[in-house]
Chains A and B, each alone.
Chain A
Amino acid sequence: MRVTLNGESRDLRDGLTVADLVSDLGLRLRRIAVEINLDILPRDDYSHRTLREGDVVEIVHFIGGG
């Protein structure tokens, strides 16, 4: 299954949930936000939302800024 993750095309295994992806990336839930196809995915839904072919996923966090 191909999805676009933070602007990069990625081949991910079928059935992967957002919670799996976040965990695979080594991210901690408390500091990030996830958007799929321009809609914010609430944290409670990470484990329910299975990624699908063509999904456009953005995962953001905070960095230094003014």
Chain B
Amino acid sequence: MNDDDLFHLGDKTYRSRLIVGTGKYRDFAETRAALDAAGAEIVTVAVRRVNITDSGKDNLLDHLDLSRITILPNTAGCHTASEAIRTARLAREAGVGSLVKLEVIGDEKTLFPDVPATIEAAQVLIKEGFTVLPYITDDPIAAKRLEDAGCAAVMPLAAPIGSGLGIRNPYNLMIILEHSRVPVIVDAGVGTASDVAQAMELGCDAVLLNTAIAGAREPILMAEAMRLGVEAGRKAFLAGRIARKLYATASSPIDGMIR
């Protein structure tokens, strides 16, 4: 990537625009290899109870290069604002900073967010000094409300979490992008490299994904594909695509044709 094309999030700056989750990998070695192949500088983690009967197992964080990687704890699985707030506070106490991927789930089957509860939780957490990145529907009004609440970015879904359906509504994302003054990160639902390229071509600032890599037949190869997809899409966005036209325009000049 261009050295001067940096991704600003909160008070930090990143080269990578691919944020990767750490769930669903076979083991820590595969997690680490996939994160490396993806070139991820921000990775998401979940907050869960330690196993009190067998706590001797090594910890995910021991397998991540924390000098290079920013940890983004999520509030996955939380169904109310208060659960999400509680989870975020615990994450911060565990000592990885004030960044939080705020998720308040509204429905178990779709895992679509409960936007009013997300806004409520965001307001509390921002007051407490968190840098809040909310997972939201691809709804421009939801994005606006969360930006107004003081979120450091907005993270509309492309499609349901883990569905791999890709970008279902590029036009809503375009509206969100047009109005947003904070970074727009597509979070959830992408399936393959062309999906992330499309998100970046639309002008999104970054993409967050997990299952699309972890669930691939060859996760590490897919991680590399995703990195390249993000880079290709970003470069295409910066380069500016040609306008769409219904009819042909010759690429070779007419002048000098033999007659």
Is this pair of chains taken from one and the same complex? yes
Chain B residue numbers with a CB within 8 Å of A26 are: 55-56
Q: Map CB proximity to B onto A22-34 as digits: 1 under 8 Å, 0 otherwise.
A: 0001111011111
How close is A49's CB to chain B, nearest CB, in angstroms? 14
How close is B81's CB to chain A, nearest CB, in angstroms? 15
Chain B residue numbers with a CB within 8 Å of A31 are: 59, 61, 94-95
Known contacts A6-B52, A32-B50, A62 near B93 by CB under 8 Å: no
Question: Does residue B10 face the partner (Cβ distance < 8 Å to A)?
Answer: no
- Which of B20-28, B164-172, B196-204 touches A? B20-28
Chain B contributes a number of interface residues (CB within 8 A of A) equal to 38
Known contacts A26-B55, A31-B59, A40-B90, A66 near B48 by CB under 8 Å: no
State A33–B25 Cα separation when bound (angstroms).
24
Question: Does residue A13 face the partner (Cβ distance < 8 Å to B)?
Answer: no
**CB < 8 Å: which of A38, A42, A63 contacts B60?**
A63
Asked if A25 and B52 make an inter-chain contact with CB atoms under 8 angstroms apart, the answer reads yes
How close is A14's CB to chain B, nearest CB, in angstroms? 19
Chain B residue numbers with a CB within 8 Å of A7 are: 49
Considering only residues 44-66 of chain B, those with a C-beta below 8 Å from chain A are 44-50, 52, 55-56, 59-61
Q: Map CB proximity to A onto B196-240 as digits: 1 under 8 Å, 0 otherwise.
A: 000000000000111100000000000000000000000000000
Chain B residue numbers with a CB within 8 Å of A63 are: 22, 45-48, 60
Chain A residue numbers with a CB within 8 Å of B156 are: none
Asked if A58 and B60 make an inter-chain contact with CB atoms under 8 angstroms apart, the answer reads no
Asked if A62 and B73 make an inter-chain contact with CB atoms under 8 angstroms apart, the answer reads yes
Asked if A62 and B96 make an inter-chain contact with CB atoms under 8 angstroms apart, the answer reads yes
Known contacts A40-B90, A60-B47, A60-B50, A30 near B71 by CB under 8 Å: no
Asked if A40 and B44 make an inter-chain contact with CB atoms under 8 angstroms apart, the answer reads no
Asked if A27 and B55 make an inter-chain contact with CB atoms under 8 angstroms apart, the answer reads yes
Asked if B23 and A60 make an inter-chain contact with CB atoms under 8 angstroms apart, the answer reads no
Question: Does residue B31 face the partner (Cβ distance < 8 Å to A)?
Answer: yes
Chain B residue numbers with a CB within 8 Å of A30 are: 95
State A8–B90 Cα separation when bound (angstroms).
19
Chain A residue numbers with a CB within 8 Å of B209 are: 66
A interface residue numbers (CB < 8 A to B): 5-8, 10, 25-28, 30-35, 38, 40, 42-43, 58-66
